[in-house]
Amino acid sequence: MVTGGKRENIIVLTKPETLEGESDADYTAPSLLQLILSLFKNVRPGSDLTSFQLPPLLNLPKSQLQSYGETVYCTATDMLSRCHHGEGPHERLIAVVAWSISTLRPVKFGVAPYNPVLGETHHVSRGNFNFLLEQVSHHPPVSALQATNEEENVELTWCHRVAPKFHGTSVEAVLQGKRQLKLLNHGETYVMNAPNLSIRFLPGPGTDWVGNVKIQCQETGLEAEYCCKSSSFMWRRGNHRYIKGKIFESSSLKTLYEIDGHWDRIVRVKDINSGEFTDIYNAKEVISRLNATIVKDPRELWPSESAVVWSEVSQCILSKDWEKAREAKRTVEEKQRELLRERGSIGESWVPKHFTVSHSKENGWDCSPIQKRVPPGPIVVPL
């Protein structure tokens, strides 16, 4: 755990999710029996889990908004800058594919971060990259992300909505929304989606990323597709966390490279013309031995910062004081309900501070940054 700030403005920061086998000394997940009893006590088959509130026992000591950010900025190597430094369109698209894979992290079974409150923010810097996230909707939960690097002229926007459903023996969290990575010096925009998260109770408990990811660059006429697969049976390791896909020309559909590997191990591409294999992603090098972020300037922390909003809850979870954790969590949630009632009483609609938000049946949710650049954040990623 890392804390910073004045006594009245404490921030709690814990390590990001990393490869299995690397434990966080600050946090220990509850036992499998505790998880199962708590989950089945609170949900039934067919339940809509969008508004479901976990008891603190089943919460990680951080907000989901912070977790989203960590999948982008918490890497041992700068995957985003690699996209910018690629020498040609093929090399840059391969780097974008590798960065997309790096956002897939092992997820602890049965525990989850807090549901962000409306208007919650998370503002972090890593080197020349500055990241800003905001919870732009609560029902349904929608998160927005903007990242900019003025030195390399790179921009990233990310609109994210999770639609979970309980299916009796599993939960599938469908990740809706669009991600755009702009390499402005090259005049290229990469548009992509994300796979879904499957949380399985039977025949064996576990979590897996599943589904298809498509990455398109209209300017270069190149596309990439890869599918995240996993066996239903944990002992079939060959299919566990498997990725297979291709890079091809949009117009002719001609395959240029084949993608193959495991997102928690090695992913490589095969050049169809030469037959050569190249490792493009090594999970052990990218998402292993990650450290918690640190507070650089406590005076610049906003009251809406994720780790400030949930600081008391996180402290209680880390100390395993479950009664105080429930009270603290109830206080955060009740404050949000009170603000909602106040706005309703005067007929006022809530408006995000950092993004404009739109929604349609055809295009789903879309979030556009209000400011062109993200300023440096008070929280930094140790390099």
- Residue 126 forms beta bridges with which residues? 129
Domain ranges, residue 40: 30-230+237-294
Can you tell me whether residue 120 is helix, strand or coil? coil
Please report whether residue 126 resides in a domain: yes
Average pLDDT of every residue of the chain: 89
The pLDDT score that the predictor gives to residue 52 is 55
Q: Give the tens place of pLDDT for each residue, 185-207.
A: 999 999 999 999 998 888 778 88
The pLDDT score that the predictor gives to residue 1 is 52
* pTM, to two decimals: 0.90
The pLDDT score that the predictor gives to residue 43 is 60
The pLDDT score that the predictor gives to residue 6 is 41
User: Within 10 A of 111 (CB to CB), how many other CB atoms are there?
Assistant: 17
Please report whether residue 104 resides in a domain: yes
The pLDDT score that the predictor gives to residue 126 is 97
Please report whether residue 270 resides in a domain: yes
Please report whether residue 4 resides in a domain: no
Angle between helices 322-345 and 311-318 (to 10 degrees): 160
Q: Can you read off the two tokens belonging to residue 44?
A: 């039934």
Please report whether residue 201 resides in a domain: yes
Please report whether residue 340 resides in a domain: no
Report whether pLDDT(266) > 80: yes
Q: Give the tens place of pLDDT for each residue, 309-354.
A: 999 999 999 999 989 999 999 999 999 999 999 999 999 989 999 9
Q: Rounded distance, CA 336 to CA 328, Å? A: 13
Query: In the chain, how many domains are there?
Result: 1
Please report whether residue 43 resides in a domain: yes
Q: Can you read off the two tokens belonging to residue 59?
A: 């919460």
Q: Rounded distance, CA 265 to CA 63, Å? A: 27
**Distance (Å) of CA 250 to CA 6, 84, 109, 180, 216:** 54, 21, 38, 18, 8
**The dihedral formed by the CA atoms of 332, 334, 340 and 345, expressed in degrees to the nearest 10:** -140
Q: How confident is the model at residue 55 (pLDDT cuts 50, 70, 90)?
A: confident
The pLDDT score that the predictor gives to residue 235 is 45
The pLDDT score that the predictor gives to residue 19 is 85
Please report whether residue 260 resides in a domain: yes
Q: Is 34 left (phi over 0), alpha (psi -120 to 50) or beta?
A: alpha
pLDDT exceeding 70 applies to what percent of the chain? Answer: 87
Q: What is the CATH number of the domain that holds 109?
A: 2.40.160.120
The pLDDT score that the predictor gives to residue 5 is 43
